[in-house]
A and B are shown apart, each in its own frame.
Chain A
Amino acid sequence: MTQTTHRETRVTPRPARPPRRNGRFLPALGRFSLFALPGLLAYTLFVLVPIGMTGYNSLTNLNPFNPPTQFVGLRNYVNLLSDAEFHQALLNTVIITAIITVLANAGGLLIAMLLDRPTKLYVLLRGVFFTPVVLSSVVISVIWQAILTDDGLLNSALRGLGVDEPPGWLSDPGLAIYSIAWIMAWQMLGFCVVVYLAGLQGVPRELNEAASIDGASALQRFRNVTWPMLAPALTINVVMLLITGFKAYDQVRVITNGGPGNGTTVTMAFQVVQTAFVSNRIGYSSALAAVMLAIVAFISVVVLRFLQKREVSQ
């Protein structure tokens, strides 16, 4: 009823405004432009100009320690096609992104449903789950390193339980990438919980009650009522997790530095920074960054479009 009334209120025609005089419109536009100017200027300086410079540098062999800089056209991009390290970094990034997108979404939804109660204890628990999101990634990484290192908490506990040779969570090349993905998923879990909680609180109870009266089971109510209503929350979470996964750097830098071994946990963002500031190959790293930007933009747009269409259809 309330919603209907609300809709009726919104369609009530507003009282007609007095027609604007052209003489006052242009000064108003100028005033608004002035307000927008600082933001536009900052965006141009700190986002558009660096992107433009990256694009330009990617067409050169820029190495500040090995001048002169020469224009090399698309050579850096061609070299990327046969660069095994780049392929490994791309694969690692995709693995991390896929794992955190699935884990954090599934875990976040589950926990949000458990916490969707109005008592004080559950409000407190929401804060607890959100804490990792506001902590620095470096702090999180140091904590998890202490847990997962060979002599860390987890292996000490496993040894205490009689496991003679517990896994090398960070030293085994086959496991390290999954450890990194797990840590990132754990950190993003709280974000997903909050977004899903907001979504759950927007689901009208009447719908679930009506479905219940019609004989729908709990699973059927979730599948046919709750889940479709959570479509906008899913969109936000998936897009945010994709972006987080594709720009993974901090955790890799602190926990494994790309190892153990060459390329085991190297991500695209990590490779960009290493190539630029350790190997000094700014031109090549700019090409890497440009490709990374294109991939993230493409995947984000495609996924966003797909999920938004799903929202509309449901």
Chain B
Amino acid sequence: MRRTLIFGLAAVLAAAGCGVGETPQAEGGASASAGGKVELSFLVFETPNLNAAFWDAAIARASAKVPEVTIKKLVTPNIDRTAYAKQLDAAGNLPDILQSVNPAGFAQAGKLAPFTDEELKNFIAPKAGAIGGKVYQLPYNTQVIPVVYYNKDMFAKAGITATPTTYQELLDISKKLKDGGTTPFIVGGGGADTWADMYPLTGTVATDVYKTTPDWLLQRAQGKVKFTDPDFVAAAKKIEDLAKNEYIDPAGLSRSYADTEQAFRDGKGAMYPMGSWFATSADANKPSFEVGAFPWPTDDGSPVTPTFTGGGTLVSATAKNVELAKKWALAFDEDKENNDAFVKADGSIPAIKGYTPPADMGPVYNATVEIYQKGMQEGSIFDAFSQEAGDGALPPGLADKAALGVQDLITGKKNAQQFAEFLDDEYAKATQ
């Protein structure tokens, strides 16, 4: 017994002694390796477009610009990087640098390091996604959400010669398509990809609510407006009616995001309201038909272009070396080759001053960028509902609830009024 205890004590002392002589921690608590480099963890997510090779190459390019940093890549188990970051944070392991995680909640709790105006000088919209006046996520790219991608062959076959500019024209086109035996809209949202059903509603909220009240969601946070107000209910009613008229097939709700895209490629529907990231996918892996694009139309034909700008890299306030982490994050997001790679893989529209996309981009991407640029010229850029980050964002968890609520709208389980009441209830729960 005594021998066992002595052995145990010796083992504990030996383990403790292992720390003696270690390299002292660098400034800010960074642990430095023998070469004087700081190792920082970087949380990324993989998709078919943004695969392991993509991230490895992008990380290598940024690290070449900040040689005092070595990156330890962490990969989320699924596409929901924000939920995974929360789990890591709950375990006290928030990574030093994070890619495309929604800063809502993290920033307010002081878990993220803000970027200074000087650090943001190269960005087109340096204050995009600001929380309390501070920017925690680099606003490196813009996405138009939604763009209505359509099957030109199906339109031609139905005798449709022009894309709609008013909502009534969209309904007329939908009727023509349905009468001809074609499902007008492809909408998914199955499996873990519930979010994929949101885009028609994102379109109607932009045209019916944000167009007249651009800071509507901020006003919702201040209690000045409610989801049950007539304008929001009217936006939801449009989705309810699209489903009632069988312009949206509820069976599509079982399709995952990938299956939904495939369904459009397979010609199972004529129009596919989706984020602008679909553009490069359509160019890279061309369907058997030509794909066109138009913005979600308003009632009166005036232009509205819902967009999200942000989505870049974030730095933890408790990173091993915050300044170096920010320097590396900026190098990662501003690198021309990295942005080219994001453009080609994910259809992003980089929001970096002086950036021009590669000349060999495909027709669907170019049509999408045209919609965005037209929106910029016309001054018709608005937020994309449920995609917002910053002060006007939905409280944590509410975007997921909204996506589930949209399924209820499409299946007829809830009408527009009930959907709005549901959102108000969930908003109250999420902010209590």
Q: Report A's interface with B, CB cutoff 8 A.
A: 27, 30-31, 34, 64-67, 145, 148-152, 168-173, 253-263, 274, 276-280, 282
Q: Is the CB of A150 within 8 A of B252?
A: yes
Q: Is the CB of B397 within 8 A of A280?
A: yes
Q: Is the CB of B189 within 8 A of A278?
A: no
Please give me the residue from chain A that is nearest to B193 by CB atom: A257
How far apart sit A170 and B255, CA to CA, in the bound complex (Å)?
Answer: 9
CB distance from A269 to the nearest CB of B (A): 15
How far apart sit A67 and B254, CA to CA, in the bound complex (Å)?
Answer: 38
Residue interface bits B383-412, CB-to-A below 8 A is 1, else 0 = 000000000000011001100110110010
How far apart sit A263 and B413, CA to CA, in the bound complex (Å)?
Answer: 11
Q: Is the CB of B251 within 8 A of A261?
A: no
Q: Is the CB of B404 within 8 A of A170?
A: no
Please give me the residue from chain B that is nearest to A176 by CB atom: B254
CB distance from A57 to the nearest CB of B (A): 11
Chain B residues in 8 Å Cβ range of A172: 250, 411
Q: Is the CB of B396 within 8 A of A151?
A: no
Interface hit among B31-39, B86-94, B349-357:
B86-94
Q: Is the CB of A65 within 8 A of B106?
A: yes
Can you give 19 contacting A-B residue pairs, CB < 8 Å?
A: A64-B86, A64-B90, A66-B108, A145-B190, A150-B249, A150-B251, A150-B255, A152-B254, A171-B190, A171-B251, A259-B194, A259-B407, A260-B189, A262-B407, A262-B408, A274-B397, A277-B86, A277-B87, A279-B430
The answer to the question of B176 belonging to the interface, with a C-beta cut-off of 8 Å to chain A, is no
A151 CB contact (under 8 Å) in B83, B106, B253, B263: B263
* A149-B259 contact, Cβ under 8 Å, with A171-B254, A260-B254, A279-B397: yes
* Besides A150-B254, A168-B253, 9 new A-B residue pairs in contact (Cβ under 8 A), listed by A number: A64-B90, A151-B259, A253-B192, A259-B407, A260-B408, A261-B411, A279-B396, A279-B397, A279-B429
Chain A residues in 8 Å Cβ range of B86: 64, 277-278, 280
Q: Report B's interface with A, CB cutoff 8 A.
A: 1, 4, 83, 86-87, 89-90, 105-106, 108-109, 111, 189-194, 249-256, 259, 263, 268, 396-397, 400-401, 404-405, 407-408, 411, 413-414, 422, 429-430
How far apart sit A280 and B254, CA to CA, in the bound complex (Å)?
Answer: 27
B250 CB contact (under 8 Å) in A30, A148, A171: A171
* A257-B194 contact, Cβ under 8 Å, with A277-B86, A278-B83: yes
Q: Is the CB of B252 within 8 A of A145?
A: no
How far apart sit A280 and B102, CA to CA, in the bound complex (Å)?
Answer: 13
Chain B residues in 8 Å Cβ range of A66: 105, 108-109
Q: Is the CB of A256 within 8 A of B190?
A: yes
How far apart sit A185 and B169, CA to CA, in the bound complex (Å)?
Answer: 49
Q: Is the CB of B408 within 8 A of A254?
A: no
CB distance from A124 to the nearest CB of B (A): 34
Q: Is the CB of A148 within 8 A of B254?
A: yes
B396 CB contact (under 8 Å) in A148, A254, A258, A278: A278
Chain A residues in 8 Å Cβ range of B254: 148-150, 152, 168-171, 260
Chain B residues in 8 Å Cβ range of A261: 404-405, 407-408, 411, 413-414
How far apart sit A261 and B194, CA to CA, in the bound complex (Å)?
Answer: 9
CB distance from B431 to the nearest CB of A (A): 9
How far apart sit A81 and B430, CA to CA, in the bound complex (Å)?
Answer: 18
Q: Is the CB of B404 within 8 A of A262?
A: yes
How far apart sit A243 and B224, CA to CA, in the bound complex (Å)?
Answer: 47
Q: Is the CB of A258 within 8 A of B404?
A: yes
CB distance from B432 to the nearest CB of A (A): 8
CB distance from B73 to the nearest CB of A (A): 22
How far apart sit A273 and B255, CA to CA, in the bound complex (Å)?
Answer: 23
Q: Is the CB of A34 within 8 A of B4?
A: yes
Q: Is the CB of A259 within 8 A of B253?
A: yes
How far apart sit A255 and B83, CA to CA, in the bound complex (Å)?
Answer: 18
How far apart sit A277 and B192, CA to CA, in the bound complex (Å)?
Answer: 15
How far apart sit A66 and B109, CA to CA, in the bound complex (Å)?
Answer: 6
* A254-B422 contact, Cβ under 8 Å, with A65-B106, A149-B254, A277-B87: no
Top 7 closest A-B pairs, CB basis?
A279-B397, A65-B105, A170-B254, A261-B408, A171-B254, A150-B251, A171-B253
* A277-B404 contact, Cβ under 8 Å, with A145-B256, A149-B255: no
Chain A residues in 8 Å Cβ range of B89: 64
Q: Is the CB of A170 within 8 A of B190?
A: yes
CB distance from A79 to the nearest CB of B (A): 9
